[in-house]
Amino acid sequence: MSNMSDLVNILRSIPGYILNPAETYEKNRNESYSYAVAIFVILYAAIFLLSGFLVVIYNILSWGSGDPVFLFLLLFIWFGSYGLLCLVEIPIILVVIHFASKFGNKSAGFVDSFKITFIGCAFFIFIIGFIVLINVILIIVCENYNSDSLEYLIQYPLYILATLCFIRVSAEGIRTLHGLSKLKSYAIAVISILAAYFVMCFVWFQIVGIFLV
């Protein structure tokens, strides 16, 4: 990914993974590891920078009388902590997708499993990032906004949407690149995200337990 044309191709492909993932995976079948990593970084950076931009707008609109430090800390803590959890989630998802696909198709390649994992997780994180983005918007427009009151209206629906998006994008990648049936592909995608979720919860509770001691 060393020139502008590569970046343009990546940006053009991103909507394709949502609208027509199977065709997009097939089109980019011969891309390397860096292609998937670039998509992950672009989407992660996009939602972080957009949230940061809104914090700046908030500070301008409040004539500096607000508390932008609090919002910046919110962004760094949220995205930073989730970034650390991704270090746990992504390897779990990669292992499940690769070895489960290998069981169904011995010729399944690790590079393809890597691309499927990072592209699926990129969209998952991008959608989850809207939790913070919406919270920042509501803080800007609502003086007495309480983030806890909208937990069920924002956080849970976005988690569900992000999970469904991950399952679709990943399953179509497994079906296209590893040549498995639709049923097996979707089953592997579901199992991988559930495995990552349970491991993430375990790690999270361990971290919380350390700080509470």
CB 170 within 8 Å of CB 18 = no
**Rounded mean pLDDT, 106-110:** 92
Burial of 201 (0-12, 13-18, 19+ CB in 10 A): exposed
Q: Is the pLDDT of residue 67 over 80?
A: no
Residue 2, classed as helix, strand or coil, is coil
Residue 53 inside a domain? The answer is: yes
Residue range(s) defining the domain that contains residue 163: 32-212
**pTM assigned to the model:** 0.84
Tell me: the pLDDT tens digits for 132-149? 778 777 777 776 666 666
| Total tally of structural domains belonging to the chain | 1
Residue 160 inside a domain? The answer is: yes
Of 15-29, 43-57, 162-176, the one with minimum mean pLDDT is: 43-57
**Rounded mean pLDDT, 2-7:** 68
Output the pLDDT for position 23. Answer: 95
**Rounded mean pLDDT, 159-166:** 94
Q: Is the pLDDT of residue 21 over 50?
A: yes
According to DSSP H, which parts of 28-155 are helical?
A: 33-61, 68-104, 110-128, 130-141
Q: Is the pLDDT of residue 210 over 70?
A: no
Residue 117 inside a domain? The answer is: yes
Output the pLDDT for position 1. Answer: 45
Q: Is the pLDDT of residue 85 over 80?
A: no
**Rounded mean pLDDT, 9-30:** 92
Residue 178 inside a domain? The answer is: yes
C-alpha pair distances (Å), 32 with each of 39, 57, 110, 111? 12, 38, 11, 7
Q: Give the tokens for residue 193.
A: 């995200």
Residue 3 inside a domain? The answer is: no
Residue 179 inside a domain? The answer is: yes
Residue 12 inside a domain? The answer is: no
Residue 1 inside a domain? The answer is: no
Q: Is the pLDDT of residue 3 over 70?
A: no
Which has more confidence, 176 or 155?
A: 176
Average pLDDT, the chain: 82
